[in-house]
Amino acid sequence: MDLSYPIGHAQLPEGALSLTERTALIQQIAELPAHLTAVAKAVGGVALERPYRPGGWSGRQVIHHLADSHMNCYFRFRLALTEEHPTVRPYDEKAWAELPDVAATPITVSLTLLEALHTRWVTLLHHLSEQQWQRTFYHPGTKRDFTLDQALAQYAWHGQHHLAHLQALQA
């Protein structure tokens, strides 16, 4: 198994997602906080301080990263819905994972944050029209445009990707 990409790389849709595809991805976003909490409990506190692979982040860093990353994505959705093709601001996720709050904050804080954030995000996602799903933003870090359908697919994958990292700590 590739410990860097245990579920493979994200596959972004070329066109619009079907209602069935979109519903399944929204469900993954909705369920992620509960799955993360269950895996974090199963792994346990000491094991969460270990990296999931050599040179990788600790379980603690992964959980705090998910809160940081998914907050950024939620804001990107809101920007795309309220501005015409905004350029979103990238951030240095590796540097963020090294900030002192990551080591000093209990993971329960980020798990609680993810639960509230995903509740709000999923509510927004369920209320988007077909036209809104095709709204776009530009990401200068990747030098590409994303539709909200593509961002949904990317972040549903992102949650599962890091959930698999945490599950690797159970072994």
Going by C-alpha positions, the residue among 30, 24, 25 that lies closest to residue 116 is 30
171, pLDDT greater than 80: no
How far is residue 158's CA from residue 145's CA, in Å, rounded to a whole number?
Answer: 18
Confidence at residue 131, expressed as pLDDT on a 0 to 100 scale:
98
40, pLDDT greater than 70: yes
How far is residue 110's CA from residue 40's CA, in Å, rounded to a whole number?
Answer: 12
Cα Dmax for the chain: 47
DSSP category for residue 90: P
pLDDT digits (tens, 9 = 90+) for 93-138: 999 999 999 999 999 999 999 999 999 999 999 999 999 999 999 9
Q: Would you call 107 helix, strand, or coil by DSSP?
A: helix
Confidence at residue 13, expressed as pLDDT on a 0 to 100 scale:
96
pLDDT digits (tens, 9 = 90+) for 57-83: 999 999 999 999 999 999 999 999 999
Confidence at residue 158, expressed as pLDDT on a 0 to 100 scale:
98
| CATH 1.25.40.10 given to domain 19-168 | no
Confidence of residue 1 (pLDDT cuts 50, 70, 90): low
Query: Taking the model in full, what pTM does it have?
Result: 0.96
Assess contact for 117 and 169: CB atoms under 8 A: no
Confidence at residue 107, expressed as pLDDT on a 0 to 100 scale:
98
How far is residue 60's CA from residue 56's CA, in Å, rounded to a whole number?
Answer: 11
Residues above pLDDT 70, as percent of the chain: 99
How far is residue 171's CA from residue 2's CA, in Å, rounded to a whole number?
Answer: 15
Give the mean model confidence (pLDDT) for residues 14-24. 97
Sequence spans of domains, the chain: 19-168
